[in-house]
Amino acid sequence: MAIDIDISRRLGDRMIAARFVAGPGLTALFGPSGAGKTSILNMVAGLLKPDRGHIRIGDRTLFGDGIDLPPEARRVGYVFQDGRLFPHRRVRANLLYGHHLAGPADRWMGLDEAAQFLGIGDLLDRWPHSLSGGEAQRVAIGRALLAGPEILLMDEPLSSLDAARRGDIMVVIERIRDELKLPILYVSHDRVEVDRLATSVVTIGE
């Protein structure tokens, strides 16, 4: 399933633009901080509106040709840099938030399966503030997967973790790429991460 993106957006005096077609596997959006990589993910997720262009997943148009789907209709999972778990809900309720909202036909993973896949079965009754950085990021990934997305966006998901945790989460990301075969758009400014994880690389902000 190809992700076809051709968008631009002016933010203040900066021009953010991207044009690429991402195939299966993990496509890294690579470039220096401040190049607008996160803005591109936000436009794909529907949190930021492009000035022009189009965003298509397979034969589904998310934006362009007079279409501008709201975020909740895009089936685009988003793992944020800071996890962004809901602080007033336990881990279980965080994980199930999008799962309950997705149509039964759109879900492709259950809670038990996700908990096992991510190794977070012991965390279900905990509150987000009591989790370590690595645990929180696993839960954030699980929450996105359980909503039944067609693609996954990841915005520097390793940047707040120490070296040991980074390795753990990289293994999780590789398994999402290879076992779940979920197309991933992955933002990073770290060459090592990109070399290890990326199927293809799009350079942003030349």
Partner 1 sequence: MLSPEEWGIVLLSLKVGVVAVLATLPIAFLIAWVLARHRFPGRMLVDALVHLPLVLPPVVTGWLLLIAFGPLGPVGRWLESWFGMTLMFRWTGAALAAAIMALPLMVRAMRLSIEAIDRRLEGAARTLGASPWHSFWTISLPLALPGVLAALVLGFARSIGEFGATITFVSNIPGETRTLPLAIYAALQVPGGEAAVTRLALLSVALSLGALVLSEWLVRRTHGARHRHGD
Contact 188, 156 (CB under 8 A): yes
In angstroms, the CA 10 to CA 7 distance is 11
Count the site residues for partner 1 by CB under 8 A: 26
Q: Is residue 136 near partner 1 by the rule CB under 8 A?
A: no
β partners of residue 154:
79, 186
- Among 52-60, 84-92, 157-165, 197-205, the segment contacting partner 1 (CB under 8 A): 84-92
* Chosen residue from 12, 13, 88, 105 binding partner 1 by CB under 8 A: 88
In angstroms, the CA 22 to CA 44 distance is 13
Which residues have a Cβ under 8 Å from the Cβ of 34 and sit 6 or more positions away?
205
Nearer to partner 1, 74 or 189 (CB): 74
* Chosen residue from 17, 64, 84, 168 binding partner 1 by CB under 8 A: 84
Contact 201, 28 (CB under 8 A): yes
Contact 60, 74 (CB under 8 A): no
Contact 143, 85 (CB under 8 A): yes
Orientation angle between helical segments 133-146 and 91-101, nearest 10 degrees: 20
Nearer to partner 1, 96 or 197 (CB): 96
**Number of continuous H segments (helices) and E segments (strands) in the chain:** 6, 10
CB of 191 to partner 1, least distance (A): 28
- Among 21-29, 61-69, 121-129, 175-183, the segment contacting partner 1 (CB under 8 A): 121-129
* Chosen residue from 22, 43, 45, 114 binding partner 1 by CB under 8 A: 45
Q: Is residue 67 near partner 1 by the rule CB under 8 A?
A: no
In angstroms, the CA 168 to CA 134 distance is 8
* Chosen residue from 18, 29, 43, 76 binding partner 1 by CB under 8 A: 76
Q: Is residue 183 near partner 1 by the rule CB under 8 A?
A: no
Q: Is residue 104 near partner 1 by the rule CB under 8 A?
A: no
Nearer to partner 1, 65 or 129 (CB): 129
Q: Which residues bind partner 1 (CB under 8 A)?
A: 45-47, 70-72, 74, 76-78, 80, 84, 86-88, 97-98, 101-102, 126-127, 129-130, 143-144, 147
